[in-house]
């Protein structure tokens, strides 16, 4: 059954990428109940790469996790959300300092959306000249928005020294961002700001904190296969042995 789902996902994803090469560079896919995954595309080392974000529709407005990588999709995403749900985005949390997560923070702040990153992310964003949030998360925190609650959790350094995950304990949804790779990936991807020595230990912390997730959203690629966390840990262990 999981194999069939993966095939369907790949067919959808191929169509999404084809659309990006034409006019459509934003896809929005229902995940579960009020949860949606949005995907935009950008060039990295000459290849068109998809980047996943997520949003949650609550009684008190929409919460966005990370911003589009494609700068032309900052407003179209807001428009799509409002048209689809008749609600506006009120909160945006970026999971680390790279552009595929933080690129839209200034844009959204200027439109009255409360933007958040951790204090560590803000320091790196300032140092690297990246976009910065209006509000800072000082430590692991629980947010409540409407009928939903979720936790922001810093498990340790991995993809970057500031990467956090977002955990919905009741719904068993783990938004992993770029710390977690797709089950289809063959390597850990961009390691320019990574801590490979601690990557595996950080992923074990995620496993201990976020038990039995039913959905895992990686920063890029296929989110249908929930073995992505185990798969990433396996790759991190292999890398760890080489050091």
Every domain of the chain and the residues it spans = 2-242
Strand ordering across the sheet containing 165-168:
141-145, 148-153, 165-168, 173-177, 215-218
**Is the CATH number 3.30.300.20 carried by domain 2-242?**
no
Q: What is the pLDDT along the chain (243 residues), one digit of tens a residue?
A: 444 343 344 444 434 433 333 345 999 999 999 999 999 999 988 889 999 999 999 999 999 999 999 999 999 999 999 999 999 999 999 999 999 999 999 999 999 999 999 999 999 999 999 999 999 999 999 999 999 999 999 999 999 999 999 999 999 999 999 999 999 999 999 999 999 999 999 999 999 999 999 999 999 999 999 999 999 999 999 877 554
Cα distances from 3 to residues 7, 32, 105, 110, in angstroms, run 6, 19, 37, 43
Query: Are 31 and 43 in contact, with CB atoms under 8 Å apart?
Result: no
Model confidence, pTM: 0.90
Q: Report, as residue numbers or ranges, the catalytic residues.
A: 96, 98, 100, 159, 190
Long-range contacts, stretch 162-169, CB < 8 angstroms, 24+ apart: 162/96, 162/97, 162/118, 162/120, 162/121, 162/124, 163/95, 163/96, 163/202, 164/95, 164/96, 164/118, 164/121, 164/137, 165/95, 165/206, 165/210, 166/65, 166/93, 166/95, 167/209, 167/210, 169/210
Task: Output the CA angle 25-28-34, nearest 5 degrees.
Answer: 160
Tell me which DSSP letter residue 71 carries. Answer: G
Block residue for tokens 């803000």:
122
The CA distance from 135 to 117, in Å, is 7
Which residues, listed in sequence order, are joined to residue 49 by a DSSP beta bridge? 42
The CA distance from 89 to 173, in Å, is 20
């Amino acid at each position: 059954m999981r194999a069939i789902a993966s095939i369907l996902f790949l067919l959808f994803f191929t169509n999404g990428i084809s659309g990006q090469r034409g006019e459509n560079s934003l896809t929005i896919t229902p995940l579960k109940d009020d949860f949606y995954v949005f995907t935009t595309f950008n060039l990295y080392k000459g290849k068109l790469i998809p980047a996943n974000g997520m949003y949650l529709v609550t009684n008190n407005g929409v919460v966005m996790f990370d911003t589009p990588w494609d700068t032309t999709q900052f407003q179209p995403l807001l428009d799509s959300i409002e048209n689809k749900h008749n609600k506006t985005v009120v909160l945006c949390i970026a999971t680390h300092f790279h552009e595929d997560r933080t690129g839209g923070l200034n844009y959204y702040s200027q439109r009255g959306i409360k933007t958040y990153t951790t204090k560590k992310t803000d320091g790196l964003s300032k140092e690297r000249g990246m976009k910065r949030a209006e509000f800072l998360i000082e430590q692991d925190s629980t947010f409540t928005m409407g009928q939903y609650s979720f936790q922001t959790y810093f498990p340790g350094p991995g993809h970057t020294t500031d990467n956090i995950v977002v955990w919905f304990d009741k719904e068993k949804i783990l938004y992993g961002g770029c710390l977690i790779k797709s089950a289809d990936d063959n390597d850990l991807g961009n390691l320019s700001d990574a801590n490979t020595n601690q990557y595996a230990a950080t992923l074990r912390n995620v496993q201990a904190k976020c038990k039995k997730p039913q959905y895992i959203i990686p920063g890029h690629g296929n989110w249908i296969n929930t073995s992505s966390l185990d798969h990433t840990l396996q790759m991190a262990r292999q890398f760890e042995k080489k050091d």
